[in-house]
């Protein structure tokens, strides 16, 4: 597939290296704030990428210098009552509609996690609210030192419900710090993010960070896609399950996957001291 297959108003998709896709949130005039159409499109893009044999790793970033994303476009959401279920009948009927809406919204962001290929998110500038939901659904997080992170939801009166609170306790971060930033909505920067482990790389500016991400994606893109996709799936599956469950799952998973030609190709290449190449997947 080519970039032409990925035409969206608020996203730019390009292919900066073999097997690497670069997705850019593209509404810089509004600090890349999300309209409903945007998260619906985000899902569509990541579903496409998930099955696109020309893609093995994805980098996700935001357009412009000022923000990865300022989060949900709250004014737009308020206007159509999407958050609070305004004008939706009695409390129970409103609740049913709000729940449907949250589940749909979650499903769109979870598309990043379900994407069979690893996703590297590069954050910079303002990275509020939904920015966290998005980066926590991805696999590897990088940022710039000037990134202004904030789990902003308590400031607009709600508990973050698109994934931040469900994924943070499984992200290997100190829980006392997690509660601090979730309950106070205070800003923190890239240095703090790397110190606690929220990101695994922090760079001086966006250009360097994206370059680094694309480089990492290129490395991953040269590995066996069978190995890479299995690794993503098995790590994700192990969260919130016992070690026993995890072990049994990977045994069933690899019962098929080890029959791949990639193992033989990799071993042969190893013996011949050359880089292996792998079939599309």
Residues 116-145 contacting its own copies, CB under 8 A: 116, 118, 139-141
DSSP secondary structure string, the chain? --GGG--BTTEEEEEEETTEEEEEE--GGGTTPBPHHHHHHHHHHHHHHHH-TT-SEEEEEESSSSEEE--B-HHHHHHTTTTT-TTSSSHHHHHHHHHHHHHHHHHHHHHHHHSSS-EEEEE-BEEETHHHHHHHHSSEEEEETT-EEE-GGGGGT----SSHHHHGGGTT--HHHHHHHHHH---B-HHHHHHHTS-SEEESSHHHHHHHHHHHHHHHHHS-HHHHHHHHHHHHHHTTS-HHHHHHHHHHHHHHHTTSHHHHHHHHHHHTTS-------
Q: CB 269 → its own copies: shortest distance, Å?
A: 10
Select 125 or 230, whichever has its Cβ closest to its own copies. 230
Determine which residue in the list 17, 76, 208, 263 makes contact with its own copies, applying CB under 8 A. 263
Q: Does residue 4 belong to the site contacting its own copies (CB under 8 A)?
A: no
Both structure tokens of 90: 């009695």
Q: CB 221 → its own copies: shortest distance, Å?
A: 10
Residues 86-115 contacting its own copies, CB under 8 A: 89-96, 98-100, 102-103, 106, 110, 113
Select 12 or 208, whichever has its Cβ closest to its own copies. 208
Select 6 or 278, whichever has its Cβ closest to its own copies. 278
Select 67 or 202, whichever has its Cβ closest to its own copies. 202
Q: CB 9 → its own copies: shortest distance, Å?
A: 26
Query: Which residues, at least 6 apart from 85, have a Cβ–Cβ distance to it below 8 Å?
Result: 94, 95, 97, 98, 101
Q: Does residue 175 belong to the site contacting its own copies (CB under 8 A)?
A: yes
Select 7 or 157, whichever has its Cβ closest to its own copies. 157
Q: Per-residue string for binding with its own copies, 179-218, x by CB under 8 A?
A: xx-xxxxx---------xxxxxx--------------x--
Q: Does residue 5 belong to the site contacting its own copies (CB under 8 A)?
A: no
Q: Per-residue string for binding with its own copies, 27-66, x by CB under 8 A?
A: ------------------------x---------------
Select 4 or 159, whichever has its Cβ closest to its own copies. 159
Q: CB 278 → its own copies: shortest distance, Å?
A: 8
């Amino acid at each position: 597939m080519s970039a032409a297959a990925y035409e969206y108003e608020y996203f730019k998709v390009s292919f900066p290296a073999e097997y690497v896709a670069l997705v850019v949130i593209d509404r810089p005039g509004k600090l890349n704030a999300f309209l409903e159409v945007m998260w619906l499109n985000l899902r569509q893009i990541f579903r496409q990428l998930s099955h696109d044999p020309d893609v093995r790793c994805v980098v996700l970033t935001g357009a412009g210098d000022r923000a990865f994303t300022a989060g949900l476009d709250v004014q737009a959401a308020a206007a159509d009552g999407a958050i609070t279920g305004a004008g939706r009948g009695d409390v129970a009927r409103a609740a049913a509609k709000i729940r449907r809406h949250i589940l749909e919204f979650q499903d769109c962001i979870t598309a990043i996690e379900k994407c069979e290929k690893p996703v590297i998110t590069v954050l910079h500038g303002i990275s509020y609210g939904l920015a966290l939901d998005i980066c926590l659904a991805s696999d590897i997080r990088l940022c710039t030192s000037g990134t202004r992170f904030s789990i902003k939801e308590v400031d607009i009166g709600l508990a973050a419900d698109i994934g931040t609170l469900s994924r943070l306790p499984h992200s290997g971060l100190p829980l006392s710090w997690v509660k601090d930033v979730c309950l106070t909505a205070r800003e923190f920067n890239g240095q703090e993010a790397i110190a606690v482990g929220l990101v695994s790389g922090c760079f001086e500016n966006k250009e360097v960070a994206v370059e680094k991400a694309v480089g990492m994606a290129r490395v991953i893109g040269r590995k066996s896609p069978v190995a890479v996709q299995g690794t993503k799936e098995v790590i994700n599956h192990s969260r919130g399950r016992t070690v026993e469950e995890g072990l049994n799952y990977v045994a069933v998973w690899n019962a098929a996957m080890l029959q791949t030609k990639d193992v033989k190709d990799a071993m042969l290449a190893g013996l011949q001291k050359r880089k292996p190449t792998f079939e599309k997947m």
